[in-house]
Amino acid sequence: MNRIEASGGLELGPGEGPWIDVVPLPPVHPVTMDEIAEAIAAGLQWHPWHEVAARMKEAPYIRHPNMEGVIGMGKTLSIRFLYFLKQEPASALRVIEEHERGLPPALAGAVLAAARARRYPVEIAPLVIAHACALQPQAAPTHFSRKELEQMADTYIRSLIHGGDVDIPQGAVDRARFWLLVARKLWEPKTRFLIARTSPSPAMLMPGSLAAAWLELRALDAIEIAGVTLGLPPEGYPMAWPQVLEWDRGGITDEALRYLTDGQVPVGEPTVDRPSRIDEPLPTDAQDDLCKGLTAALLREAAEQGVYAPVGAFTLALPRDYPLRAWGVKALRVWAEPDGLWAAVIDQAGQIGVSFHWQPGEPLSRWVISEPAAPLVALTCAALWRDLRVGGEEAVPSSTTRRKRAGRRRGKRKRPSAGRRPVRTLPTRRVRLTGRRTWGSGEEHAHIRRRAHAVRGHLRRLAPGWHASHQARELARQFGIVVPDGFTFVRPHVRGRKGKAQEPTGVVVRAKGLASVMTLLGAGARRHPGKAA
């Protein structure tokens, strides 16, 4: 290691090359290894050396016509990795490591990743590989073959799926090669298929970053999934791997994939996949048990009373005060199948976000849904499933039909007599849904909002093992809601009035799943149900 007195920088490598040069910015003090580590951890923007050299014709140290390489520019220093023309970057880095009898792992990871990039500038991938390399302290050089590193990478991936110990190469260059191999293997179809069927955990955070880094290094602008070629802009790199795992897990078809994505990996605004976007506590954070109890009750009702088998592709607008609106979700793009749903979130700007698979009775995957949002997302799917199975197309009327009806002259409607529930005979058949749809009719929305804002004390938490009585469930039915498991329903009182609240006559709630979620978890709902009776 040579100290460059004029700049305070360092030169690593043999005198004839290849080299790693580190120059402080501005060149006023001797740079230290700690400063190099801090600069790499903060991230540098990497460029091809020949392009930077062309703009620095007056600098004497650029005169290396027989060499190529990359240079990383940071706020406090620059790092240049130069190697001979047609020399493999890993081989050149090995020469430097041997000459110095070791290299800082983060430095080796950053420069090797930058040298492997196909498009510049590159920033995230070198940072990710450097971080992975720095997880273990510097050690003496090692000399693993490509085959041996492949086997070590396979062992690491098996540990993600089945657990167990894994050996990470000790040498800095071998360590950088190892993590680059892992990043590539994470995209192999067989590997994806196996990982997709595991439960996501914090241990998957680094593999997710490595997979995104590999996309940046390869400069991919498209990816093929289920026989469909999807566009892949750089802003889609971070969520691409978990999204593809979710598609793999659910066994998505080409038709469903085309409909849910519009031909591109989702790059919409962060919604249910990014909990940090929420500025205030949501009902689901404090009431997971309420969401889970209501989910179970709605699924039971769908199984016992369901007569429709929903199929088709449609966009479902969420009412303006539906709880998911607080997460930036304006609508859902739904691909309905007889045994479950695929759904893609649509943000406030109308951009398509992440898509996920849901089946009744199966836990919601966490590849693309954040932990805080999961209970509400699962509940939303259960509520929609109940309404599709029990109410059919009437529970999700066409937006076009609704607008046409809204334009007609309104007259008096004959309403059913109080106390009598309208009788409907629902055929057992498949219902095909297409186009743009609302969840519930305008009349139902008005009824739901009136109930949600006018009443308090809907629910009372029960002691473990207790169940709501038949009378409580029937009373809740009169108010158009389903009683969650673990709770009972008490007749609400109208605020500011004496006496019991009476159910308005003539309102048939077909979208009872929607009514239950909005009444119990919506903007006007009580967020903390009472204690056990």
pLDDT in tens, 144-156: 999 999 999 999 9
Better-predicted residue by pLDDT, 269 or 184: 184
Is the pLDDT assigned to residue 386 strictly greater than 50? Answer: yes
- DSSP E strand boundaries for 249-328: 308-317
The encoded tokens of residue 45 equal 């923007």
| pLDDT (0 to 100) of residue 412 | 40
Is the pLDDT assigned to residue 361 strictly greater than 60? Answer: yes
Residues in the chain: 533
Average pLDDT estimate for 107-117: 98
- Sign of the CA dihedral 202, 167, 210, 76? positive
Better-predicted residue by pLDDT, 518 or 469: 518
Is the pLDDT assigned to residue 101 strictly greater than 70? Answer: yes
Task: Please compute Rg for the chain using Cα positions.
Answer: 30
**Could you state, in order of their start, the residue ranges of all structural domains in the chain?**
2-133, 186-267, 283-406+428-521
Q: Are 48 and 120 in contact (CB under 8 A)?
A: yes
Tell me the pLDDT tens digit for each residue of 475-514: 777 777 888 888 888 876 554 444 444 554 456 778 999 9
Q: What 8-state DSSP symbol labels residue 368?
A: S
Is the pLDDT assigned to residue 120 strictly greater than 90? Answer: yes
Average pLDDT estimate for 515-528: 67
Q: Are 144 and 169 in contact (CB under 8 A)?
A: yes
3-state class (DSSP) for residue 327: helix
| pLDDT (0 to 100) of residue 213 | 97
In the structure, what pLDDT confidence band is assigned to residue 382 with cuts at 50, 70 and 90?
Answer: very high
CA atoms within 13 A on the CB side of 429: 8
Better-predicted residue by pLDDT, 89 or 410: 89
Residues above pLDDT 70, as percent of the chain: 84
Is the pLDDT assigned to residue 305 strictly greater than 50? Answer: yes
| pLDDT (0 to 100) of residue 493 | 58
From CA 318, how far away is CA 316, in angstroms rounded?
6
Tell me the range of 371-380, 395-404, 424-433 where mean pLDDT is highest.
371-380
Residue where the block lists tokens 């469930």: 473
Q: How far is CA 483 from CA 290, 301, 321, in A?
A: 10, 11, 21
Better-predicted residue by pLDDT, 3 or 353: 353
3-state class (DSSP) for residue 415: coil
The encoded tokens of residue 289 equal 């048990």
Is the pLDDT assigned to residue 60 strictly greater than 60? Answer: no
Q: Are 355 and 244 in contact (CB under 8 A)?
A: no
Residues above pLDDT 90, as percent of the chain: 60
In the structure, what pLDDT confidence band is assigned to residue 283 with cuts at 50, 70 and 90?
Answer: very low
Q: How far is CA 195 from CA 191, 247, 265, in A?
A: 6, 12, 20
From CA 457, how far away is CA 468, in angstroms rounded?
15
| pLDDT (0 to 100) of residue 5 | 67
Question: Taking all residues of the chain, what is their mean pLDDT, rounded to a whole number?
Answer: 84
In the structure, what pLDDT confidence band is assigned to residue 452 with cuts at 50, 70 and 90?
Answer: low
Is the pLDDT assigned to residue 379 strictly greater than 70? Answer: yes
Tell me the pLDDT tens digit for each residue of 317-347: 999 889 999 999 999 999 999 999 999 999 9
Answer whether the bond into residue 26 is a cis peptide, omega within 30°.
yes
From CA 331, how far away is CA 346, in angstroms rounded?
5
Beta strand 352-358 pairing with 45-48: unpaired
